[in-house]
Structure 1
Amino acid sequence: MTFFEQQHQARQETKKLVFLFALAVLAIVIAVNLAMALLWNFKFGGHHELMRSYPKGFFAINTLITLALIGGGTLIQTFNLRDGGDAVAQMAGGRLVSPATGDLQERRLLNVVEEMALASGIACPKVYLLEQEDSINAFAAGYNQNEAVVAVTRGTLNRLTRDELQGVVGHEFSHILNGDMRLNVHLIGVLFGIQMIAGFGQQLMNFGRFSSSSRDDKGPPWQLIMLFAGLALFVVGYIGIFFGRVIKSAVSRQREFLADASAVQFTRNPEGIGGALRKIGGLTDGKKIGSQINHPNAEQLSHLFLGSARPNLLDGWFATHPPLTERLKRIYGRSMSPLEAPELSTPYAETTERLADLPFAAAGFASAVASTSMPAPVTVSGAAATPSLEFGNSSGMKSPLSPQLDGAVRDPAGACAVVYALLLGEGAERDTQLAILKKETPQQAALTTFLAEAVAQLPLSARLPLVDLAAPALRQLAQADRDRLLAIVEQLIAADSRITLAEFVLQTVLTRRLAPRAGRLVPIRFNRLSDLSADVALLLSLVAHVAVPAGRTDVTAARLTAFLRGAAACPELKLASHDYCDGATLSFPRVRQALDNVNQLAPLAKPQLVKALLAAADGGEALQISSADILRAICAGIEAPIPPAVAATYQAYPWQFDN
């Protein structure tokens, strides 16, 4: 099943969630009304016609209060989770792991996460550590892949080998790439709302316990009524927990099987995720801890975790995770016994392992630096009022990441300086850009100048991966600082009144990952590619211009051929030669608007577009880095993972993970 099919299925699962939520609310409303009716008769009993003894609107008021509690709880919790993955990780008691950490266990974890992010072409997620949890467990959370976080327990670091840790991280990256995270975060808010009744019952019991015990002539004292009402609502509220388990099992169980399979596919090593699950099964330290999470919010978050966060009192339909035995059998094809999981004496011994040696690197999954010769620059003129788009690169040589750059990408201020250094031009343009930096951010101007030489030594194919590595540090910036960064980036690009391919790609990726609306749900406005024919034609034309460098005698015809090659992959659009956009119409504002529109396509409509763009870029020869970069930027713009052919274009860094 493809990424886009998974996204579509995730949206279908949301409909199932809505149905089950409505069913749970209906059951709770009926139970509350029944409990309140019994309590009313307990207080004012003795009437022969009980149905006439209730006040006017009795059941309506009970229903409205119940709905208000459930709806209010859902809205409040959803609002509390507005920061997405960070809010969820903090809710679980997580501590943010600094990108500059000196702890070797944490460094190993960051290296593995960085490998997976570079390989899949997404922003490197923030990493959180559940310091107080000695079990083996992990989760990924967030509203989309641009603001995801990965969290692991201390036991995961202490007890798993590097291969097993890779398997766990690969499992969580499947949830990131398959669109599971948004559904899981929404589920937290929904379940909190359902369980609000139990909380309200607890408050009533407390109120009744400390209120006056005077009685009246009509029945038992109000104190006793409050206590019984609170107890009834507390019990009724646990209907919410029952339905919560049903909802979680209905939504998440099959997706755990998929994530296990994806972890094997990503790492090409079933012993990775398989070994981690076997150790969960065999983990014993005086008491059974396995994957158990002790934090008070564990029940609310149980559907996010790699393994069951709480013991399954109700198995089968009501378990939040499939049985370990079944998961292992699907991974290995046979039954597997548990493994002991002692704390490793040197859990970080493998941190010097290089990415090029990893199993998935050989499969072309790793995305990294390559030494590549590129065509000469090509200028495509734009309208007079807007900067033109310029395409092309020069050859670059492979160079190790210097200690200065390695440290800078892990610090928020340093990461900003790296971004600025990537945009520095030559000659008068550079002087203008440095003047802008000295005016806008004097301290970072000096650091940018210091890092510029190291950045200049990098091959152009290393630049986007460098930005991916800097993503966790950049995401530590407050939104005001992110906005300031994006504004300075725009000024630096405008310094020479034109936009190069590198500048366009960098700004597109940064905007999608750091802008105020990054990470928020994008509503579906278009169901078919045919709804966006003009935008598709523009993007195909853009890719054709990048794929065919200037200097050829037949450059115009070759670009048109590339455009038509891509158009043939979307026959329903019926694009022809007259739909091709020449250089004069390829302005940055138009391309940006096209990306915004295409991002609102239904998930199942996007793979055909990515296929068409890849066809336009692929002329039968090896995909150029310039083409890979523009495809990578477009995929970032429409929130889709890069296709395998693009990932394969970037060869593994031989130096990236030497820490």
Structure 2
Amino acid sequence: MNFFEHQAQAHKESKKLLFLFALAVIAIVLAVNFTLALLWIWMKGQPLAGAHLYPRFFFLTNTGVVLLFIGGGTLFEMSRLREGGDAVARMAGGRLVSPDSRELQERRLLNIVEEMALASGIACPRVYVMDDEDAINAFAAGYHQNEAVVAVTRGTLTRLSRDELQGVIGHEFSHILNGDMRMNVKLIGVLFGIQMLAGFGRTLLDIGSHIGGSRSRDDKGPPLQLIFIAFGAALFVIGYIGIFFGRLIKSAVSRQREFLADASAVQFTRNPDGIGGALRKIGGLTRENKCGSRIKHHNVEQLSHMFLGAARPNLLSGLFATHPPIETRLQRLYGRSVVFLDASEITEEVTHPAGAAMGFAAGSGSDSDAGESPRINYNTAPTGLPSPLDVSPVGFHPEFGYRPVGNSEASTPISSTASSTPTAPSKQQIPSEIVQAARNPQAANALVYALLLDRKDPVSYQLQLDILRQSAAQQCALVTLLHEAVETLPTSMHFAVLDLAMPALKFLNPEQRQQLLGIAARLIAADQIVTQSEFVLQIVLQRRLSPSAGRDVGVKYNGLAQLKAETGLLVSLMATTEFAADHAQQAYLDSVSSMPELALTAEQFVARDALDFFEVKRALDKFQQLAPLAKPFVIRLMLKAGGNNLSSDGVNLLRSVCAALDAPVPELFEVK
């Protein structure tokens, strides 16, 4: 099963989930009406004699109130989670880690997340630490992969080696890439809605315990205190019918996805002892405290399905287990039984050997810079990270088949995955001053401006400097300094730099983000000409930093047939980017002929001088709403139109489309 199939399956399971919860809501409504009917008879002290005993619209009112609680609670929680992963991480008690943190363990974690993100071709996720949690656990959250966050417990940092931590992050990246996060966030909202009824019952119990024992107004029924307690107890118990269904459904969904994520972690890191060691330490810690992955936060009930390991002791096994038993997961990883490991805190940090496991450039995996001062110091900055063009992105096959990220069949061990050919070491590195700047919010802001400067055109360059002096005077000197480093990079690396800077840029407040987007637009328009590279950089900046960034995007289009003109436009753009006018149309026809069902003809080819970047932007906005299984065909057609290798402009165009599709960047073996 490929990457997009996993996304499509997650989307289908989301629909199935909502259907099953609808059944649970019906069961709750029936239970409430039945219980309140009995309580009404008891309260009035009359024998059961038929429906005439009940007030007019009694059952309809009960039903409406129940639906209001469940539906209103769900909508309220979904609104509260509209920010996506950041809202979920805060809900779990997470603390946002600064990208330029020099705390030893946090620096190690940030380095690993950066490595995974660049190798995957997605924006680097923001990182949270749950400081109050001593157990070993983690989760990934967000509505789409370019706006994801990764959260780990303090115990994960203090108890795991670097390889084990890398395995945990690889596990969470599987959830990011396979589309699990969106469904998980929606499930949080639905669970909250169902729990609202139990919460209301608890409130009534509270009220009943604080009021006197006076009788109801007609003095024929039971005391008012007893009425409140009876109603509260009934609603509290009935509310847990929904929680029963919720646990049952989310456990069935979550268990299978944990097997897949374990397998993916091995394939990402080429090291079964990474995620395997982490699971073995969870098992070892469980022997001491009954749950080595226990989460103590009060929101654990709503979030339990998202974690790496079971978040509560009573969820470790049985029908309501959100995760498979640790022993079963280890059996899948190693193909045999293995012993648990001691999970004592690691008091001595060992620098990770450069270039290990995932084949990153020398220094990119090192944590030697972890203990430095948080200030920007270009003389002591760490070595650069690899280009995603030199590191095989996660899950992508050179013939445009997304290779399976683990075996979903329960009976197949995956230890053989570790013997796969390692990724070739990186040949290009991002200069250290750029890496350092990308980790600081204000310096990352200046870095974006540096990417947009054009010194090749002296007139345009001077106009851009004038804009910076007027609108960002304090950053002007830093921008020009960073631009000197940026000029040493091929333009195909610019998106990797932008991906790396995303966590720091998201530390900017809304006003600062808006200012950045505004100044970037002015820098682009300084020469009255918008180049393709400028356009795609602006598209990605707006996609990730606009007020709507991180929000849920639903599926509106089920196939490319509904976006035929937009597909032709993107294929034309790639063909004209890679070939001269006399060959571009033929490249376009060679590409679209591979999908005759689209019925795209030569007349629908858009020549270079007729291309309108505003129309391209509208097309990308629509492709964001394309069904998961239709997305790979867009990339396939563009790759075919580009020929055997891509220019830097072609690489950047493809990256912007992948950002719009929330897809990893395909592997490119050769760049013109």
Q: Is this a same-fold pair by TM over 0.5? A: yes
Question: 1:414-460: per-residue Cα shift (whole Å, max 9, x none)?
Answer: 11100001111121111100111121222222321232222223333
CA deviation after TM superposition for structure 1 residue 34, in Å: 2.3
Residue pair 1:298, 1:309 contacting (<8 A) in 2 also: yes
- In structure 2, the residue matched to 1:267 is 269
SS at match of 1:102: coil
The answer to whether 1:487 aligns with 2:506 is no
Q: Structure 2 residue aligned with 1:422, among 427, 451, 464?
A: 451
| Matched ranges for 1:280-291 at <5 A | 280-284=282-286, 286-291=288-293
Hey, what does 1:401 align to over in structure 2?
Answer: 431
- Give 1:70-85 correspondences, 5 Å limit: 70-85=70-85
Q: 1:18 to 1:631 in 2, by over 3 A?
A: same
Q: CA deviation at 1:399?
A: 6.3
Q: Is the Cα–Cα contact under 8 Å of residues 24 and 194 in structure 1 kept in the other structure?
A: no
Q: How does 1:9-408 map to 2 (within 5 A)?
A: 9-47=9-47, 49=49, 51-215=51-215, 217-284=219-286, 286-312=288-314, 315-347=317-349, 349-351=350-352, 353-354=353-354, 356-359=355-358, 368=387, 401-403=431-433, 405-408=434-437
Q: Which 10-residue stretch deviates more, 559-568 or 238-247?
A: 559-568
How far 1:268 moved relative to its partner? 1.7
Measured against aligned partners, the alpha-carbon deviations of 1:71-126 in whole angstroms (never above 9, x if no partner) come to: 11111111111211111111111001111111011000000000111011111110
Residues 237/370 of structure 1: CA separation in 2 closer, same or farther (3 Å cut): closer
Q: In the aligned structure 1, how far is the partner of 2:281 from the partner of 2:533? A: 46
Q: Which residue of 1 aligns with 2:2?
A: 2
Q: Work out whether residues 370 and 398 of structure 1, in 8 Å CA contact, stay in contact via their aligned partners in 2.
A: no
What amino acid is aligned across from residue 657 of structure 2 in structure 1? I
Q: Please state how far the C-alpha of 1:309 moved relative to its aligned partner.
A: 0.5
1:149-198 Cα deviation digits (max 9, x unpaired): 10001111111111111111111111111111111111101001101111
> 2:442 is matched with which residue?
413
SS at match of 1:359: coil
For 1:133 and 1:505, the matched residues in 2 are separated by 41
CA distance in structure 1 between the partners assigned to 2:670 and 2:198 by the alignment: 55
- What amino acid is aligned across from residue 330 of structure 2 in structure 1? L
Distance in 1, matches of 2:67 and 2:232, equals: 17
| Contact residue 29 and residue 63 of structure 2 kept, 8 A | yes
Task: Tell me, yes or no, if the aligned pair for 1:266 and 1:360 is still in contact at 8 Å.
Answer: no
Which of 629, 632, 643 does residue 655 from structure 2 map onto?
632
Question: Which deviates the most, 622-631 or 564-573?
Answer: 622-631
In 2, Cα distance between equivalents of 1:272 and 1:564? 47
**Aligned-pair CA distance for 1:284:** 4.7
Structure 1 counterpart of 2:262, which letter?
Answer: D
Q: Of 599, 610, 631, which residue of structure 1 is paired with 2:624?
A: 599
Q: How does 1:494-533 map to 2 (within 5 A)?
A: 494-533=525-564
Matched to 1:542, the amino acid is L
Secondary structure in 1 matching 2:530: strand
Q: For 1:28 and 1:106, how far apart are their aligned partners in 2?
A: 45
- The answer to whether the Cα contact below 8 Å between 2:387 and 2:428 also exists between their aligned partners in 1 is no
In the alignment, the residues of structure 1 paired with residue 318 and residue 639 of structure 2 have an alpha-carbon distance, to the nearest angstrom, of: 44
Q: Contact conserved, 2:82 with 2:552, CA < 8 A, in 1?
A: no
Counterpart secondary structure, 1:458: coil
Question: How far, CA to CA, are the matches of 2:44 and 2:50 in structure 1?
Answer: 10
Task: Provide, for residues 324-376 of structure 1, a one-character-per-residue CA deviation record: whole Å limited to 9, x for no partner.
Answer: 222222222233332221211224x225x43x4433559xxx961779xxxxx
For structure 1, the 5+ residue unaligned runs are 372-396, 549-554, 651-659
Q: CA deviation at 1:582?
A: 1.3
1:641 to 655, 659, 664: 664
Tell me if the contact between 1:140 and 1:148 (Cα under 8 Å) persists in the aligned partners: yes
Quick one: distance in 1 between partners of 2:186 and 2:488? 45
SS at match of 1:129: strand
Q: 1:541 to 1:424 in 2, by over 3 A?
A: same
Residue 122 of structure 2 aligns to a residue in which SS?
Answer: coil
Distance 1:182 1:533 in 2: 27
Partner of residue 449 from structure 1, selected from 444, 468, 480: 480
Where in structure 2 are the equivalents of 1:494-573 lying within 5 Å? 494-548=525-579, 555-573=580-598
Q: Provide the rounded CA distance (Å) in 2 between the counterparts of 1:113 and 1:575.
A: 41
2:437, 2:443 within 8 Å by CA — same for their partners in 1? Answer: yes
Change in Cα spacing, 1:249 to 1:360, as seen in structure 2 (3 Å) is: farther
Q: Is the 8 A contact 1:367 1:649 kept in 2?
A: no
Partner amino acid, structure 2, of 1:31: A
Task: Report the Cα offset of residue 639 of structure 1.
Answer: 2.2
440-449 or 265-274, which deviates more: 440-449
Q: Secondary structure at the match of 1:258?
A: helix
Aligned with 2:491 (options 436, 449, 460):
460
Using the TM superposition, give the Cα deviation of residue 50 of structure 1 relative to its aligned residue in structure 2, in angstroms: 5.0
1:616 corresponds to 2:641:
yes
1:12 deviates by 0.7
Q: Are the counterparts in 2 of residues 625 and 649 from structure 1 also a CA contact under 8 Å?
A: no
1:47 match: secondary structure: coil
Instruction: Name the SS of the counterpart of 1:308 in structure 2.
Output: coil
Distance 1:425 1:277, change over 3 A: same
C-alpha offsets along residues 471-496 of structure 1, whole Å, 9 cap, x if unaligned? 00111222332222112111111111
What is the root-mean-square deviation of aligned Cα atoms in Å?
2.2
SS in 1 for 2:626: coil
Give yes or no for contact 1:166–1:272 (8 Å, CA) kept in 2. Answer: yes
Measure, in 2, the Cα distance between the counterparts of 1:329 and 1:399.
39
| Contact map agreement 1:570 1:609 (CA 8 A) in 2 | no
CA 58–370 in structure 1, closer or farther in 2 if over 3 Å, else same:
closer
SS of the counterpart of 1:343? coil
SS at 2:313 equivalent? coil
- Residue 371 (structure 2) aligns with: none
Tell me, what secondary structure is at the counterpart of 1:317?
coil
Worse-superposed segment, 236-245 or 117-126: 236-245
Percent identity, aligned pairs only, is 56
Residue identity opposite 1:455 in structure 2: V
Aligned residues of 1:308 and 1:321 also touching (Cα < 8 A): yes
| Matched residue type, 2:533 | A
Provide the rounded CA distance (Å) in 2 between the counterparts of 1:78 and 1:540: 37
Q: CA deviation at 1:277?
A: 1.2
SS of structure 2 residue aligned to 1:212: coil
Q: Distance in 2 between matches of 1:28 and 1:526?
A: 35
Amino acid at match of 1:629: N
Residue in structure 1 matched with residue 377 of structure 2 by the alignment: none
SS of residue matched to 2:547:
coil
Change (3 A) 1:272 1:398: closer
Q: Do the aligned partners of residues 34 and 163 (structure 1) sit closer, same or farther apart at CA in structure 2, a change above 3 Å counting?
A: same
Letter in 2 for 1:637: A
Q: Secondary structure at the match of 2:311?
A: coil
CA gap 1:455/1:361 in 2 versus in 1, 3 angstroms = closer
Partner amino acid for 2:444?
A: A
Pairwise CA distance, 1:534: 2.0
Q: SS state of the match for residue 558, structure 2? A: coil
Q: Give me the whole-angstrom Cα distance separating, in 2, the residues matched to 1:191 and 1:559.
A: 53
SS in 2 for 1:337: coil
Q: Deviations over 1:470-525 (max 9, x none)?
A: 00011122233222211211111111122334312311221221122222233333
